[in-house]
Amino acid sequence: MTWLITGGAGYIGAHVVRALRAAGEGAVVYDDLSTGIAERLPDDVPLVVGSTLDGRRLREVLTRHTVAGVVHLAAKKQVGESIDRPLLYYRENVEGLRVLLEAVTEARVPHFVFSSSAAVYGMPGTELVTEETPCAPMSPYGETKLAGEWLVRATGRATGLSTACLRYFNVAGAARPELADVGVSNLIPMVFEKLTENAPPRIFGDDYPTPDGTCVRDYIHVVDLADAHVAAARALTASPGRDLTLNVGRGEGVSVREMIDHINAVTGYARPPLTTPRRPGDPARVVASADRIAAELGWKARHDVQDMITSAWEGWVRLHPEAARV
């Protein structure tokens, strides 16, 4: 069975492609290479360069490769940028998805896995976030992910498309150094960057209502996340017409200060962090209940924070050899 992975040349996408191939599934990648890297892909996976706004090219690739399912990862994903450029985010993440769903419907593709985000919850204010926790996104990025879920589920109800919306929590780590995230827009690479500059890592606020005053998040290894996509794809093909919305997290919270302590231990640096003012829009705690994905897919995260930081650091040192200390 052939899956079309949009955004498959991205950090997460390349891991999903490899997991699908390792599971014996066929794969074709559709990516505009705006942030994707073609070299991330295995040689036996075709890459079609294009935008999800190009309905004609999408219909052509869906039919040419007899695509039986789509994993849609192509999107803009920087919260801060979405606040400055909301129309770009709504065009790429919502209109791009609408055009893709139109092509999927016309080509009668039966299965659709959608990359959603914990950002749909905004500031949940609960110990553990379940899929029933009210969604109140705090950024245009989070809004586009929630609107995307509405589009996907409505299309499923109207056409019989089987759908899975996967709400990613904080993704980190890499299967191998050359697949590491090259962006520096999340905690772990931002701390790496400071350590490499011999500057103190920053804690954006330590006056939150949490045990150590710093924000708590649910970090998930990208390899576990990729495996969740394979499990979702298999669940949809096993029971057509299914409609799943699932958190993808470990169900355990780790604070910013704890993460920085782990990073210092893994990297051999011992630079005390500098506390700066809060970053606007940061919730104190966002930690998943992972009960539903376990019940529906039999999936559970296998990697811990140590695995994530160690593999992310190996990827960082590959691109910044001057950073290696030990």
Number of separate helices (H) and strands (E) present in the chain: 11, 14
The answer to whether residue 269 forms part of the interface with ligand WQD (CB under 6 A) is: no
R_g over Cα of the chain: 19
Q: Which of 18, 40, 72, 202 binds ligand WQD (CB under 6 A)?
A: 202
Binder of ligand WQD out of 71, 104, 118, 236 (CB under 6 A) = 118
Q: State in angstroms the smallest separation of the CB of 171 from ligand WQD.
A: 6
Residue number, 68 or 312, with CB nearest to ligand WQD: 312
The 8-class DSSP code of residue 271 comes to: P
Is 141 marked active-site? yes
Instruction: Report the half-sphere exposure of 302 (CA within 13 A, side-chain side).
Output: 9
DSSP 91: I
What's the CA gap between 88 and 321, in Å, rounded?
35
Buried residues in 216-237 as b, exposed as e (16+ CB within 10 A): bbbbbbbbbbbbbbbbbbebbb
State which residue, 63 or 275, has the beta carbon closest to ligand WQD.
275
The nearest distance, CB 276 to ligand WQD, in angstroms, is 8
What are the phi and psi torsion angles at 22 (to 5°)?
-65, -25
- Least distance CB 120 / ligand WQD (angstroms): 9
Q: Tell me which residues in 174-193 interact with ligand WQD (CB under 6 A).
A: 186-187, 190-191
Q: Which stretch binds ligand WQD (CB under 6 A): 50-58, 59-67, 116-124, 224-232?
A: 116-124
Q: Could you tell me the sign of the dihedral formed by the alpha carbons of 129, 82, 185, 199, in that order?
A: negative
Q: Does residue 109 interact with ligand WQD by CB under 6 A?
A: no
By beta-carbon proximity to ligand WQD, the closer residue of 29 and 256 is 256
3-state secondary structure of 321: helix
Total Cβ atoms within 10 A of residue 300: 13
207-246: contacts with ligand WQD (CB under 6 A): 215, 217
Which DSSP symbol is given to 41?
Answer: S
Q: Cβ neighbours of residue 295 under 8 Å, at least 6 residues apart?
A: none
C-beta separation of 282 from 256 below 8 A = no
* Out of 113, 233, 246, 256, the residue judged to bind ligand WQD by CB under 6 A: 256
x/- mask, ligand WQD, residues 64-103, rule CB under 6 A, reads -------------x-x------------------------
Comparison of 90 and 204: residue with beta carbon closer to ligand WQD: 204
Decide: helix, strand or coil at residue 275. Answer: strand
Angstrom distances, CA of residue 186 to CA of 170, 182, 190, 234:
9, 11, 6, 30
Of the ranges 25-33, 103-111, 202-210, 298-306, which one interacts with ligand WQD (CB under 6 A)? 202-210
Identity of the residue, 77 or 303, whose beta carbon is nearer to ligand WQD in the bound complex: 77
Which one of the listed residues 141, 208, 219, 269 is annotated catalytic? 141
Residue 280 burial by Cβ neighbours in a 10 Å radius (0-12, 13-18, 19+): exposed
Nearest to 315 by CA among 198, 183, 168: 183
**Contacts with ligand WQD, 282-311, as mask; x by CB under 6 A:** x-----------------------------
Please, which residue, 28 or 303, has the CB nearer to ligand WQD?
303
Provide the binding-site residues for ligand WQD, judged by CB under 6 A: 77, 79, 117-119, 168, 170, 186-187, 190-191, 202-204, 215, 217, 256, 279, 282
Active-site positions read 141
